[in-house]
Chains A and B, each alone.
Chain A
Amino acid sequence: MYQGTIRVLVACIILGGHFLVFFAGLLLGIFGPLLGVDVVQTILMASPVLGVTASSALMFAMRGQTEIDRGEKVTTLFSTVTLFFPIALLVCIAVVFVAISRQVNGFGPDQLKISLGAIETFFGIFLGTIAQTLFGTKGENPSS
């Protein structure tokens, strides 16, 4: 897999995932058990890491208006790690959202917020590093 392909895949996962988290949060408020304040808090708590990463991905997408550099071929380990962590973050958030929508015993709105905080903290450092490597800080040219 080439650098350009990895960047495009990760950018799509992160941008799409960020939108899905926002949309799922709204759905939890409409059809799920969350009240208005809980919905807002949930979306805000699920956003920081994804948001920062997504803004880098967005800048990358904007820069690639006419052309995205294909780059060099990357190792399997690099491609696995860079794809695994964004997907794992989204899967974790999805599990938490499903749990709250099905009202799993002992997992109320308070536990939801605590879990989201833990997930954000855990994945923050990994996604920060991945975003910087793939997209550069705030969309600057990444090191290739």
Chain B
Amino acid sequence: MAIGRAARAWSSYLAACLWAFSLADSARAETLYKYNGSDLPPYRSAILALNFAGDQVTGELRPLLGASGVPIKVSGTNPSEGRLELAFEGPDGTVKRAFKKHADKWRIEWVAEAKDPDAPRLLFYRYTDGAFSEAALTFTEGECATPYGYVELIFPDSTTEEQAAAFFKSHPELAALPTSTSSWKGDKLKKTRAPMAISFRNVLREFRTGKYGSIDIEVPVGSEPYVVQQLRQSGLAIADLDQGGCGDLERDYFALEDPTLFPSGSVSWPKLESYFETALKNFAGEDADGKKWNYRIGQARVVEIRLPTKPTSYHVKMYVASEITRKVPGWWDSFALTLEPFQERTSQQSRIAVVVTVERLKSSKRSWFNASPPDDSYFTKEQGGPEEGEITKAICRFFDRRDTR
């Protein structure tokens, strides 16, 4: 009896090991690509997983993370270097396409050969500097898509407010997520902040007026992959990052590559906080000509949002010479700075992207009789978006330069 139990246990253990090994082996062999010009509507991108074995290629075309849809089987050959012939076995039959390889330092791209030069480009690609991040496997990557912050929604006819209310009741973490929406009141764009359940209801009503093809909700930076995947799985909306226009972006971001910030493979917030603190002191203390300036930096606040992915942000109030922030002489600038890490297109163990937001910019004329920034009662001149944009750029430039030193 005991011997039989031991033999069964061993055989189960061996089977589990073999299964795990085969899974790991297939995962190792599989190469993931982003596929643009999707055969899996409604999204314009999909995930193409390919296995190369000699000149034979197998794999499947999968929907983006969170999206519904059955994977399409893909097979084909790699007849020569830089050429692929693939067959996509979709529900409407098999479609054969030939692809040609283009590669540069950062990206390997396979572009479909098209007889019609005006036809939309059909291609798949991967980056050479790392595997796709979860965010990259979730979102369509458009040329002018904002990489963070704005979730674009299209509502199917079947979506009702009652269904949305039921969904948010079962997802309280999403219902309470701080969001904002923008709508035109006459010729003014009005921004309304509200929990996601309310914003979602409002944009659904707005969408039903028929004036918009799609509608945006601004969500906290870093929460986008979770929000989009959950909304896709709910079936309430076709959700993606805002594919937007190629206009100005009021925020900007920089990338940090410092291995000391990633002691265990993922970013350490205490270390990142300390890094931000030191870097911001250096930013505020010296201008581009090397001249030293007094500055004041308020108590930093780290805010973690209650989502499973725990998006976290760093908030601080700064008082800095305008020679540093805007290259304008004679003023002190006070502003609220927010730094919000988010996933870039590729996930690397020692790289993180950080969105910079500068808000509530006020200036105070500098007095000859005081070399330090005064208190808030002297900051009476309110500045607008262009000046806030200049400071955002200055901070991004500073971190980029610091990182490449």
**Please, which residue of chain B has its CB at the minimum distance from the CB of A37?**
B380
Set of chain A residues within 8 Å of B380, measured between Cβ atoms = 35, 38, 108-110
Compute how far the CA of A110 lies from the CA of B370 in the bound complex, rounded to whole angstroms.
Answer: 18
**Please, which residue of chain A has its CB at the minimum distance from the CB of B376?**
A108
A19-47 CB contacts (< 8 Å) to partner B: 31-35, 38
- The size bracket of the interface on A is 10 to 19
Asked whether B378 lies within 8 Å of A33 as measured between CB atoms, the reply is yes
Set of chain A residues within 8 Å of B369, measured between Cβ atoms = 31-32, 101-103
With both chains docked as a complex, state the minimum distance between the C-beta of A71 and any C-beta of chain B, in angstroms.
43
Set of chain B residues within 8 Å of A121, measured between Cβ atoms = none
Asked whether A31 lies within 8 Å of B367 as measured between CB atoms, the reply is yes
B374 CB contact (under 8 Å) in A31, A35, A38, A105: A105
Compute how far the CA of A110 lies from the CA of B374 in the bound complex, rounded to whole angstroms.
Answer: 14
A107 in the interface, Cβ–Cβ < 8 Å? yes
With both chains docked as a complex, state the minimum distance between the C-beta of A22 and any C-beta of chain B, in angstroms.
19
With both chains docked as a complex, state the minimum distance between the C-beta of B328 and any C-beta of chain A, in angstroms.
15
A111 in the interface, Cβ–Cβ < 8 Å? yes
Which of A102, A103, A110 counts the most B-chain CB atoms under 10 A from its CB?
A103
Compute how far the CA of A107 lies from the CA of B376 in the bound complex, rounded to whole angstroms.
Answer: 10
Known: A108-B380, A109-B380. A31 touches B375 (CB 8 A): no
Asked whether A35 lies within 8 Å of B375 as measured between CB atoms, the reply is no
Set of chain A residues within 8 Å of B364, measured between Cβ atoms = 33
Compute how far the CA of A60 lies from the CA of B298 in the bound complex, rounded to whole angstroms.
Answer: 56
Compute how far the CA of A101 lies from the CA of B368 in the bound complex, rounded to whole angstroms.
Answer: 8
With both chains docked as a complex, state the minimum distance between the C-beta of A15 and any C-beta of chain B, in angstroms.
27
**Please, which residue of chain A has its CB at the minimum distance from the CB of B373?**
A103
B377 CB contact (under 8 Å) in A32, A35, A108: A108
Compute how far the CA of A46 lies from the CA of B368 in the bound complex, rounded to whole angstroms.
Answer: 22
A107 CB contact (under 8 Å) in B366, B368, B377, B381: B377
Asked whether B374 lies within 8 Å of A33 as measured between CB atoms, the reply is yes
**Please, which residue of chain A has its CB at the minimum distance from the CB of B377?**
A108
Set of chain B residues within 8 Å of A107, measured between Cβ atoms = 377
Task: Annotate A106-117 by CB proximity to B: 1 below 8 A, 0 otherwise.
Answer: 111111000000
Asked whether A106 lies within 8 Å of B375 as measured between CB atoms, the reply is yes
With both chains docked as a complex, state the minimum distance between the C-beta of B321 and any C-beta of chain A, in angstroms.
14
B365 in the interface, Cβ–Cβ < 8 Å? yes
**Please, which residue of chain B has its CB at the minimum distance from the CB of A27?**
B368
Compute how far the CA of A79 lies from the CA of B377 in the bound complex, rounded to whole angstroms.
Answer: 41
Known: A102-B370, A103-B370. A110 touches B365 (CB 8 A): no
Compute how far the CA of A34 lies from the CA of B367 in the bound complex, rounded to whole angstroms.
Answer: 8
Set of chain B residues within 8 Å of A103, measured between Cβ atoms = 367, 369-370, 374-375, 378
Set of chain B residues within 8 Å of A105, measured between Cβ atoms = 374-375, 377
Compute how far the CA of A111 lies from the CA of B377 in the bound complex, rounded to whole angstroms.
Answer: 8
With both chains docked as a complex, state the minimum distance between the C-beta of A70 and any C-beta of chain B, in angstroms.
44
Compute how far the CA of A108 lies from the CA of B332 in the bound complex, rounded to whole angstroms.
Answer: 14
Asked whether B374 lies within 8 Å of A101 as measured between CB atoms, the reply is no
Set of chain A residues within 8 Å of B378, measured between Cβ atoms = 33, 103, 108-109
Asked whether A33 lies within 8 Å of B377 as measured between CB atoms, the reply is no
With both chains docked as a complex, state the minimum distance between the C-beta of B260 and any C-beta of chain A, in angstroms.
38
Asked whether A35 lies within 8 Å of B367 as measured between CB atoms, the reply is no
Compute how far the CA of A110 lies from the CA of B375 in the bound complex, rounded to whole angstroms.
Answer: 13
Task: Annotate B191-203 by CB proximity to A: 1 below 8 A, 0 otherwise.
Answer: 0000000000000
Set of chain B residues within 8 Å of A106, measured between Cβ atoms = 375, 377
**Please, which residue of chain A has its CB at the minimum distance from the CB of B378?**
A108
With both chains docked as a complex, state the minimum distance between the C-beta of A67 and any C-beta of chain B, in angstroms.
45
Compute how far the CA of A128 lies from the CA of B378 in the bound complex, rounded to whole angstroms.
Answer: 34
B368 CB contact (under 8 Å) in A31, A38, A108, A109: A31
A110 CB contact (under 8 Å) in B367, B368, B377: B377
B356-405 CB contacts (< 8 Å) to partner A: 364-370, 374-378, 380-381
**Please, which residue of chain B has its CB at the minimum distance from the CB of A110?**
B377
Set of chain A residues within 8 Å of B377, measured between Cβ atoms = 105-111
With both chains docked as a complex, state the minimum distance between the C-beta of A112 and any C-beta of chain B, in angstroms.
10
Which of B364, B367, B375, B381 counts the most A-chain CB atoms under 10 A from its CB?
B367
Set of chain B residues within 8 Å of A110, measured between Cβ atoms = 377, 380
Set of chain A residues within 8 Å of B381, measured between Cβ atoms = 35
Compute how far the CA of A108 lies from the CA of B377 in the bound complex, rounded to whole angstroms.
Answer: 5
**Please, which residue of chain A has its CB at the minimum distance from the CB of B368?**
A31
Q: Would you mind naming 18 contact pairs between A and B with Cβ atoms under 8 Å apart? A: A32-B368, A33-B364, A33-B365, A33-B378, A35-B380, A35-B381, A101-B368, A101-B369, A101-B370, A102-B367, A103-B367, A103-B378, A105-B374, A105-B375, A108-B376, A108-B380, A109-B380, A110-B377
| Known A31-B368, A101-B370, A105-B377; 13 more pairs at CB < 8 Å | A33-B367, A101-B367, A102-B367, A103-B369, A103-B374, A103-B375, A106-B377, A108-B374, A108-B375, A108-B378, A109-B377, A109-B378, A109-B380
Q: Which 6 A-B pairs have the closest CB atoms?
A: A108-B377, A103-B374, A31-B368, A33-B367, A103-B370, A101-B369
Residues on A lying within 8 angstroms of B by beta carbon are 31-35, 38, 101-103, 105-111
